[in-house]
Structure 1
């Protein structure tokens, strides 16, 4: 199917999702009768951080992508009444200020499947979204047809660690001013993005501005980040995953080192690992077609034996 002929559905929302009874906002692409593919984004990111062009690539290959805002991101429920995470205490093992874990976010996603009438879906997760997708495959194995984990890791602290010197130079996102936030996003994407593929600053600024307009909760990303910390190491549980799995990672990822992707693929039986030279912690436009082709091939193999 030609990407230009793919239907882009409007933003939709559903209430009382999952055990936490949250609101979730989502958007569909293409034909709802085709195999459903849930796209799960990373910490501090919104569904719009899944590039529309990438979603159209998937849809043009006979899939039905659905992107959505996680809890504490975008237009889905924010936990404003939760305690402010005490990062220092959390690092020392005191999780009393952590409001939820990746398991809760996995249950949100399973709840969205229920709300949309799906017994099972294909999962694509990026960064923290990959961790959530892994958790769903562990805790709700019957709900997952295939798993694609992109630029993610296992939770084992000996792998997938960031380049802290890069993060220190970035500082925290400025949530006080829209233009400052946009400028910081461009600076951040340049620092952790793909050295082989120049950043499209205009497109980045447009998405960053839209993200600000949808949500600039200064603590949302922090609540998500500490959920990751509390959730711990999934390595042994990943060995129980029996569904077809694709692991994609950039060899120049400064946010989650490529060792995290390699460890994920090693832990999941028969997982396929694909790494890209010159790719960092982003989804370069130049690789959308290649990503979509590999993901679609994985899904076709699964659907053909149903």
Structure 2
């Protein structure tokens, strides 16, 4: 899942659709969110701003470390390989998995993500304060969640405030860390440009992106699909930086279609 998103952000209904299509679904909390362990290292807001502007900073951990976490989970589960699907930061993680250990990736699906190249997939600077301002307890977190999803959600598939509030309550109760979110953000902002390595991939790949995404511009999705040989690019009108329920069947069908190409 993406930035500060626990495994519960993978909607059970979508997971069940994937099960109906023959998959065994594994979802998990990334480090620094949910019930996974918290990272080490303090990230100040000044550090975050320096990283955002492209200046060199020391990250507590990298996307490669987060990819290694996912491989470690596969090892623990006794799985040699898997079809991997990642959203936003999760898309960056699964891309990293694919370039670092391609033999273990059966198919790759990258959703509303980017290659790490700074000239694509940009985020509007006005969103930065929304992302780093989630402190002050449970109620403040819920209020800020509603505010940010109003800005980055899908204009063509609006979500009622009460649904956003319910997810925020669930996220808070599962475990959310403001310091952890900052560490994840620095991992994102210091990621390398994977484009040259993506060009060497041979597994089936799917890239999904919303045309109304304000968090990761659609140029990130287009660049990802252009870099991976034979990748399918699925652009969705009216989709922002979320996964609307109305599109779950579309997502499940596309993931299945991509996995079938691996046979």
**Same fold per TM (> 0.5)?**
yes
Secondary structure of the 1:66 match is: coil
Match of 2:252 in 1: 292
Match of 2:55 in 1: 93
Contact 2:42 2:179 in 1 (8 A): no
Secondary structure of the 2:110 match is: strand
Secondary structure of the 2:26 match is: strand
Contact 1:46 1:211 in 2 (8 A): yes
Structure-2 change in CA distance of 1:232 and 1:64 (3 Å) = same
Structure-2 change in CA distance of 1:186 and 1:112 (3 Å) = same
Q: Deviations over 1:105-155 (max 9, x none)?
A: 111111110000000000000001000000000001111000000000011
How much has 1:179 moved relative to structure 2?
A: 1.5
The alignment's TM-score, normalised by the length of structure 2, stands at 0.94
More helix by share: 2
Match of 1:240 in 2: 200
Residue 96 of structure 2 is aligned to residue 138 of structure 1: no
How much has 1:173 moved relative to structure 2?
A: 3.6
The alignment's TM-score, normalised by the length of structure 1, stands at 0.81
How much has 1:168 moved relative to structure 2?
A: 5.5
Which structure is richer in relative contact order (CA contacts within 8 A, separation 6 or more)? 2
Give the gaps of 5 or more residues in structure 1. Answer: 1-40
Match of 2:3 among 43, 51, 63: 43
State how far apart, in whole Å, the 1-side matches of 2:25 and 2:188 are. Answer: 25
How much has 1:163 moved relative to structure 2?
A: 2.4
Match of 2:72 in 1: 111
Contact 1:161 1:255 in 2 (8 A): yes
How much has 1:169 moved relative to structure 2?
A: 7.1
Match of 1:151 in 2: 112
Contact 1:141 1:241 in 2 (8 A): yes
1:1-306 alignment, distance < 5 Å: 41-79=1-39, 81-85=40-44, 86-90=47-51, 91=53, 93-96=55-58, 98-165=59-126, 167=127, 170=130, 172-302=132-262, 305=263
Superposition CA RMSD, Å = 1.5
Give the gaps of 5 or more residues in structure 2. Answer: none
More strand by share: 1
Q: Deviations over 1:241-278 (max 9, x none)?
A: 11000000000000000000000000001100000000
State how far apart, in whole Å, the 2-side matches of 1:174 and 1:106 are. Answer: 26
